[in-house]
Structure 1
């Protein structure tokens, strides 16, 4: 590996609703430095904080940085760097990429946060070039969406909507979605929707699983509703892009192995009725997102 490649340093910034995290990585995606600060609201504060945390992560090596990648919630145009509607940070419209580049003096690239996490997961699992084949990162956060990486390259689709699986309106309870449709998968199996369906605990999913295992009737009914929607989500994702791995991420995935167990049970139930699904062996493709590495920030850097 050439010295030039070894010195190909990038910064990745993961913008969240409460914190902004940055990492300095080398060409292999190895984290060399990191920093985290609380998130502030408003356009100017968000740009200032991204640049500030990038400087903190890089320290004295900032002058060696070739690019800054940013992963952010909201509606992202990755070609122009424009971001709209970061609700939790009071951002309606922001030319994030150009402004970060202008204020930092470093070229900047912006991706949707789920897409960035998908690249990060593929990097952590497979190295700098990502894992061979198609990797899907299924994010159970405030919403429900997938990031899809094929041989290390993000799939955006024609309009950037690739992976917006949460807004497929097939959930039979037909709950109203903020997007305007009824029955979106996101209305039942996103992290936020599970919190609404099971407001008895925080976090809700571990408590819901525990109580369902005790055969508490209400918990059994709610968990069945949630897990069937997760099963539909995974099946739609698997039968449309046929990923090698489906990485479960987002706040709800912090439930850990108990979540994998209930999802696996649902997928095995479906397999028992369908030879086609049995041949796909979807449970074998499930992985939990690495919890010991900042995959969102790493992916933002590697996508830059």
Structure 2
């Protein structure tokens, strides 16, 4: 069952699988997280299955009413995900080549388990957190993590596309720097504006600061090398935003992932890049993309919330 246009419903558990941790959240019929637990992620098929099922059982134990029960479980995970079958593949950080996660976890738990791509799950969670039960229009969550991808939610439902590749804008090869990408192409957007690429382009941070806030601060201070790298990164981000804005015309564009934790300074430099482009293009100015930007809430596990709402 997909996320619906209302979030009222039975109790659910959402699970967010990451490269370093797995977190489960108990989600009420009103669509609110009421309890959560996490464990360090362990590699391997059996370890992931064991951890997911143990966390679901544990967090479900927070239900105060013994008559209440979990109706469904949603799992958000990186890698290639077939949301129709629950099959996942190529979860590199956890050493998973292939795993029938939905079916096997469902057998162990005795409830339906829906598996969703982690960025898609986060997009559903972001839509709920920022818009409540108003699911009108399209919300896009642009995730600046190890890679770059977009989760697209229209009228409360995830847009998967024909093969499940909707939103994979990180591998659109339009960046003029033409850096090689692990996917086999050159010039993919994520070779310049993902978290991993910014760390590669700007490894000279001071006192172990994260690359993005350090890069912005030092560019603002007039450091030429920082200004050069920031210009590259912002050019690619603005390209990504134009693709999203012109392809989906979303109500909101939510900025998520590690880079977005830089906060308001991150949004400000993006808006400055967009304003420069708008100065010469009335069409782009009319879209007002900068006004649609929102930071993903950092006090909610959007992946776990969204996974539950997709279940």
- Give TM-score, length-normalised by structure 1: 0.96
More helix by share: 1
CA RMSD of aligned residues (A): 1.3
- Does 1:146 pair with 2:153? no
| Alpha-carbon distance in 2 for matches of 1:70, 1:22 | 9
Kindly state the Cα deviation for residue 28 of structure 1 after the two structures are TM-superposed. 2.2
Which residue, out of 254, 260, 263, partners 2:267? 260
Map 1:23-102 onto structure 2 (within 5 A): 23-61=25-63, 64-102=69-107
Q: Which residue of structure 1 lines up, in the alignment, with residue 286 of structure 2?
A: 279
Which residue, out of 190, 196, 201, partners 1:197? 201
| Alpha-carbon distance in 2 for matches of 1:281, 1:271 | 9
CA contact (8 A) 2:147 2:170 kept: yes
| Alpha-carbon distance in 2 for matches of 1:250, 1:122 | 15
> Runs in 1 of length 4+ with deviation above 6 angstroms?
none
- Does 1:115 pair with 2:120? yes
Q: Which residue of structure 2 lines up, in the alignment, with residue 269 of structure 1?
A: 276
Aligned residues: 299
Q: Which residue of structure 1 lines up, in the alignment, with residue 3 of structure 2?
A: none
Alpha carbons of structure 1 residues 60 and 278: separation in structure 2 relative to 1, 3 Å: closer
1:244-292 CA deviation, whole Å, 9 max, x = no partner?
A: 1000000110000000000000001111110001111011000000111
Kindly state the Cα deviation for residue 103 of structure 1 after the two structures are TM-superposed. 1.1
Unaligned stretches of 5+ residues in structure 2: 1-6
1:76-112 CA deviation, whole Å, 9 max, x = no partner?
A: 0000100001111111111110111011111100000
| Alpha-carbon distance in 2 for matches of 1:301, 1:130 | 17
Which residue, out of 158, 163, 170, partners 2:162? 158
Q: Which residue of structure 1 lines up, in the alignment, with residue 215 of structure 2?
A: 208
1:183-224 CA deviation, whole Å, 9 max, x = no partner?
A: 000100001110110112241000000100011111000000
Q: Which residue of structure 2 lines up, in the alignment, with residue 173 of structure 1?
A: 177
| Alpha-carbon distance in 2 for matches of 1:107, 1:15 | 18
Alpha carbons of structure 1 residues 6 and 218: separation in structure 2 relative to 1, 3 Å: closer
